[in-house]
Amino acid sequence: MRWVVEVSEPEAAEPALRWFETGLRDRLTEEGRQNGGPATQVVWNLFPAERPRPYRRRSQATFVVGVTSGPAPGDRPLETLYPLLIRSLGNLLVYLVPPADGTGAPAETHFVTLERGCYAVGSGGADYFATVMERVQPLAGSHLIIDNIFVPDLPSELWEGNERTRAMAEASRRLKSMDLLPAPFPIEQLLSPRDFAHLRRMFQLGGLSYGNVSVREPGLGFWMSASGVDKSHIERIGSEILLVRGYDAASGRMLVSVPVGVTPRRASVDAIEHWMIYDGFPQVGAILHVHAWMDGVPSTEVNYPCGTVELAGAVRDLVAAAADPGHAVVGLRNHGLTITGENLPEIFARVSPQLIRQIPMR
């Protein structure tokens, strides 16, 4: 894996950023990672907090770590730091709080992810950069599965949907009414129109989503809500509701069956996760993903980005470990819940009273 360090306005970099840059370059050189060029997979984008420089990646496979510094963010760090992550177009933000004397290792280091994760580690030390790398490595090394292969072979009798797609539409309306947002701020209000357009092109983003639902279609695959659709109104087959047939591992894309003549949306970013669950557990009839929490649920150990094979595999393993995989509740670290069940009404009836809006961060 190739890594590169870029510094915005190096002549004006704060002492904390200069300290971090020096230590980071030494660490990367020691590990043999200090290389750039076409094979670059991880970019460390160091920028002043008052002027977050957006990094324009050329490939979805490039993972961007923004690094900046400033005063302690207080009791609600997510509200302060999340906009810096978005404005820098990063996958992960490392925020340094300088020590009292202004030199040396930071007094605090905060990590912020797109999945709403916001957690801190203590001051520096001999193992400081080992800790930083430990946090970054699993995320940077993950494999994103968001592209689709659309095949216009959906049976005509399903072009108008069926009782399962209608149940999905009802569940999606209920999901939106729960007011469980995917991010603490509207992304389009934090970015310039140019940067927002770049982000949408690169990752094929629609609007904001409130989670997602899916239902098994026996013998064919599973129905799933499309990416970025208004969850209060999903009806159109091939546009708002998609039939996912499987996963093409050779190309790293989801196989989606659509009606003839329809311009489809991309399947939800969580399609790879749902596919792994349906493929591994035939007793699962439906899946609900919500940005909420429940006390006492088992959780993934690493907050891998949504839509990655690594997160999907971690969730599948936790479903497998459940006493009843057909009725499992699995936590996605710093992000939310994936819940399996017989059907969507059964899932809502079982878990709705126990859902907690605030997701614990660690």
Rounded to the nearest 5 percent, the helix, strand and coil shares of the chain are 30, 25, 45
* More confident of the two residues 104 and 240: 240
* More confident of the two residues 36 and 149: 149
Q: Which has the closest alpha carbon to 274: 284, 259, 261?
A: 284
The CATH number, out of the four listed (2.60.120, 2.130.10, 3.40.50, 1.10.1060), of the domain defined by the range 2-140: 3.40.50
Residue 19 has pLDDT above 50, yes or no: yes
Q: Yes or no: say if 360 and 297 are a contact pair by the CB < 8 Å rule.
A: no
**Residue 14 pLDDT class (50, 70, 90 cuts):** confident
**Residue 83 pLDDT class (50, 70, 90 cuts):** confident
> Which 8-state DSSP code applies to residue 260?
T
Non-local CB neighbours of 303 within 8 Å, separated by 6+ positions: 113, 115, 117, 139, 332, 333, 334, 335
pLDDT in tens, 156-205: 999 999 999 999 999 988 877 776 655 444 555 656 676 666 555 544 44
- What pTM value is reported for the model? 0.81
Helix, strand or coil, per DSSP, at residue 134: helix
Exposed (0-12), middle (13-18) or buried (19+): which is 282, by Cβ within 10 Å? exposed
Domain residue extents for the chain? 2-140, 148-354
pLDDT in tens, 251-280: 999 999 999 999 898 898 899 999 999 999
pLDDT of residue 188: 58
Would the CATH topology of 2-140 be identical to that of 148-354? no
Residue 143 CA, distance from chain mean position: 12
The CATH number, out of the four listed (1.10.150.20, 1.10.10.10, 3.40.225.10, 3.40.640.10), of the domain defined by the range 148-354: 3.40.225.10
